[in-house]
Amino acid sequence: MANVEVSLKEAMTSIEGALGTALVDYTSGMALGTLGGGKDLDLSVAAAGNTDVIRAKVRTMEMLGLRDEIEDLLITLGGQYHLIRLLKGKSGSGLFLYLVLDKDRSNLAMARHQLRRIEAALEV
């Protein structure tokens, strides 16, 4: 089992094209840990904003009567992918992993696979 710091480092080093990553509590919008980012990518602001995205999707699913769980959300920008993976299980309830990728240097399918693997090893 890996802690938050180890998991974020794993995401940044094992996922090609990773620009930044965070573990976020979507009940509060607070980042529990961040790694990467920079002046053009404030991960704390992104954590709070993506919390609103998740809440909106959950509300929409409820209005539609969908009885399913969100696995991940993908936001595609001109030069980046923003991947939001909701954590499953008792220890990860209410949390999500957030990963920003350089679109030209990443493989989205492999990034999703690696993020699932990191989630499985994460102990919160």
Confidence of residue 94 (pLDDT cuts 50, 70, 90): confident
Q: pLDDT tens for residues 51-89? A: 999 999 989 999 999 999 899 999 999 999 999 999 986
Provide, for the chain, the percentages of residues in helix, strand and coil under a 3-state DSSP scheme, each rounded to the nearest 5: 40, 30, 30
Confidence of residue 101 (pLDDT cuts 50, 70, 90): very high
Instruction: Flag whether pLDDT at 1 surpasses 60.
Output: no
Task: Give the HSE-up count for residue 109: Cα atoms under 13 Å, Cβ half-sphere.
Answer: 0
CATH number of 4-121: 3.30.450.30
